[in-house]
Amino acid sequence: MDRRANVRDTYDRIATHFASTRAYAWPEVESFVDSYADRETDVALDLGCGNARHAEVLAEPATRVVGVDVSRGLLETAADRSRERGFAVELVQADASTLPIRSGTVDVAVYVATLHHLPTRELRLASLDALADVLASDGVALVSAWSTAHDAFEETTGFDTTVEWTLPGGETVDRFYHIYDPEEFTADLEASSLETVSFELSSGNCYAVVKPVVD
Amino acid sequence: MKESLLEILCCPLDKNDLELEDAEYDDSSEDSEILSGTLVCTACGERYPIEDGIPNLLPPDMREESPA
C-alpha cells in the first residue's frame, strides 16, 4: 500500500486519543502568528492541522482559516474542537504534496510537525513546493520538523524510523517519521521553491520562517 | 463546507477550477453549509466527494476507503 496512505490510516486509528493529548498550541507557533498579526491576513492555512489547535491561533488575525489534514479521523476531532471552543476553521481532507488550493491565495501558513511524516524526500520536497505555490507573493509560513537535535535521538544525520503511539488500552501503533538533521532540513528548504527568512532549533525541532521565491 | 470555500479550492491533480454538483445543504446553519455533494474538476473531470461537510480532495490513488 502507498506509504502516505499508511500514515493516514495510522492517524485515523489513533485520532481521538492523539487529539486529546494535543490540547495546547506550541509557543513557537504562537509567537510566529503574533509576529505577523499586524499585517492584513485574509486567508490562513494550517497544513497538517490535526485537531486544529494551531488553526485556532490563526483564527485570531485571519479572516478565514483553512485546515488541511490527510486523516479524516483527525479532521473530525478538529470539527469537534472548533464547535466546542467557538472558532471558525474550514476543513479539507488533502495530501500535503498535492495541495488542492489555488496558487497565490494564502497569506500566512503553518506547516508544523507534518513534513516529517511524508515517507520520501521526493514527496517532502513536493510538499514544500506545493506550499510555495499556494502562498501569496508576500505570504509567509512557519515550517517545522522533528530533528536529530532532540534528546530522544543519538543519530547525527537524518534517518527514517517509526515511533510508537500507545493507545489507552496499551496497544501500540507505529507512525512513520523522517527525523531530519538540521543541515538536511535547511538544504531541503533551499532545494525547494521556498526562501528561508529565519531558522532556529527549539525543543528538538527545526523551525524555519519561509516565503516563496519570487521570480 | 461553505460554498465560498470554492474560491480557494482547486483540483489537486491539475489545479483547475472545481464545480459543485448534487449539493445538499444544512438548512439549520446560517450560511448554508454544504453537507454532501460532489466537486468536479472542470478540466480533467475527476470527481471528489464531500462527506459529512468535509471535502475529500485526496488524489484518487489515496482516496480508497480506510480500514475501520
ipTM for the predicted complex comes to: 0.93
Q: Which residues of A touch B56 (CB under 8 A)?
A: 72, 93
Question: Residue A9 is nearest to which of B1, B56, B67, comparing CB atoms?
Answer: B67
* A178 vs A156: CA distance, rounded Å: 13
| DSSP annotation string for A83-104 | HHHT---EEEE--TTS--B-TT
Q: Which residues of chain A make contact with B64, given a CB cutoff of 8 A?
A: 5
A130-171 pLDDT tens trace: 999 999 999 999 999 999 999 889 999 999 999 888 998 888
Q: How far apart are the first and last CA of chain A?
A: 38
Total count of domains within chain A: 1
CATH at residue A79: 3.40.50.150
Query: pTM higher than 0.80, yes or no?
Result: yes
Q: Which residues of B touch A94 (CB under 8 A)?
A: 12, 57-58
Q: Which domain holds residue A25?
A: 3-212
Q: What tens digit of pLDDT does each residue of A182-196 get? A: 999 999 999 999 999
Those residues of chain A that have pLDDT short of 70 are: 1
